[in-house]
Amino acid sequence: MGKSYIFKVIAHASIGKMNSVIDEVHKRSGKSKASIFFDMAYCAKKYGAGYYDYEIFAFYNLNKQQRATYMTRMISKKFNTFMNNWDYAHFLENKDEFNELYRDYIGRDFIEMNKASKEDIRKFAENHEYLFCKLQDKECGIGCERLKVSDFESFDKLYDYLKKKEFCTIEENITQHPALSKLYPNAVNSMRIITVLDNNKVAHCLYIVQKMGLGGSVIDNNCLFAPVDPETGIIKYPAHSGDTTKGIVYTEHPDTHVKIQGYKIPFVKEAVAMCLKAATVVPQIRYVGWDVAITPNGPAIIEGNTYCAHDFWQLPPHTPNKIGMLPTIKKYIPEFFEANPKL
C-alpha cells in the first residue's frame, strides 16, 4: 500500500477515535502506546489496515505472515471495485428491480408502491397479517419496518403511513423455520452467504455466517453472528456481538439461552445451491453477500448486497488459526492478486 493511502487515512481519521483504539489496544496487550501507534502506521502502509482493522482483527497479536492473509478495509474496497461493475449494481440495490429479477428465489409475495393503486395495496394488506416494508436503494435492513395490519385503525391510516414513510416495496412477512425461531423468535434470523464468480462464470461460496436478532429487535443486523459449516449446517463457533470493537462472545443466546456453537441450521446446502445459482443472474456483479432466510419449506433470498462487509469473516473468535480470507479468495480469483502484486 502506498503513502497516498496513509495520508488519506490520516486526513479522514478521527483523532479521538484513533486515540481510543490505541488506549483499548494498550489495555488488551500491555504494549506501549507509542509502539502501538507506529505499528498501526506500519500496518496502514503495508496491509491497508485502518485503526479499526488493527483493533478488531487483533493485528497487535499477529505476525507479518498472518497479517498478510487478512482482507483489510483498503483491500476490501479494491476487491469490490475489481469484481463489480457498478453500472449493473442497480439490479440488486433497487428493491423493485431485485424482486422482479430474482422472483424465483425470494419465495414471497410483494407489491411495488410506485406501480400499485391504492386498491391494489388494500387487497394486498387484506391477504397478509403482517407487512414487511422496505425503502428504496437501502441495504442491511436500514429503514425496514414490520407492520401488523390490525394495529392500524383503518386501511386509510395504514396507507397514509406507508406513503409518509416513502416505502418502495411492501412484502409478505417471511415465516422462518422453527429451528431459527428457537434461536431468536422476534426477527427473521438470516444467513449471510458470500459468493464470488470466477473468470469462467462459475460461482463459489466463500463464507457463511448465521445472524441472530437480540434484545427485542425485529431485524437481525448489528446483533449476533457466527460462522456456519456449509456442508453440515452446524454453527462452528460461539457468536460475536454486532459491535465488533467490543469483542463480546456469546456461547449461548442471551435472550433464549440456546447454546450457539454446535447448533444445526436446516437447509444450508440448499441455501448455498440457491445463492450459487443466483450469483450467475447478473454476471457483471461478481461479489455478493446474500441474505437468506430459512423457511419451513427451504431457503428464500431476502436481498443481495453489492458491498460486502470485510470484518465479520475474520474476527479472532472465528479465526483460531489466525488466518484471514485472502488465501481463500486467491484460490478462486487469482487474477485479483495478479493485478495487485503487492498484496
Residue 15 lies in a domain: yes
Query: Residue 219 above 90 pLDDT?
Result: no
So what's the pLDDT on residue 16? 79
Shared domain for 166 and 281, answered yes or no, is no
Region 296-318: mean pLDDT is 92
Query: Residue 283 above 80 pLDDT?
Result: yes
Residue 245 lies in a domain: yes
Give DSSP secondary structure letters for 32-44: -HHHHHHHHHHHH
Domain of 322? 83-95+176-328
So what's the pLDDT on residue 242? 67
Shared domain for 118 and 248, answered yes or no, is no
Tally of domains in the chain: 3
So what's the pLDDT on residue 195? 98
Residue 140 lies in a domain: yes
Query: Residue 173 above 90 pLDDT?
Result: no
Length reported for the chain: 343
So what's the pLDDT on residue 4? 54
Residue 134 lies in a domain: yes
CB atoms within 10 A of CB 6: 15
Provide the CATH number for the domain around residue 262: 3.30.470.20
Shared domain for 210 and 266, answered yes or no, is yes
Residue 148 lies in a domain: yes
Query: Residue 141 above 70 pLDDT?
Result: no
Condensed to tens digits (0 to 9), the pLDDT of residues 76-88 reads 999 999 999 999 9
Condensed to tens digits (0 to 9), the pLDDT of residues 222-278 reads 689 999 999 999 999 999 986 766 778 999 999 999 999 999 999 999 999 999 999
Shared domain for 304 and 323, answered yes or no, is yes
Condensed to tens digits (0 to 9), the pLDDT of residues 47-78 reads 999 999 999 999 999 999 999 999 999 999 99
CB 327 within 8 A of CB 334: no
Q: At 13, is the pLDDT very low, low, confident or very high (cuts 50, 70, 90)?
A: low
Cα–Cα distance list, 246 to 28, 99, 122, 239, 307 (Å): 11, 36, 45, 13, 23
Q: For the chain, what is the mean pLDDT? A: 91
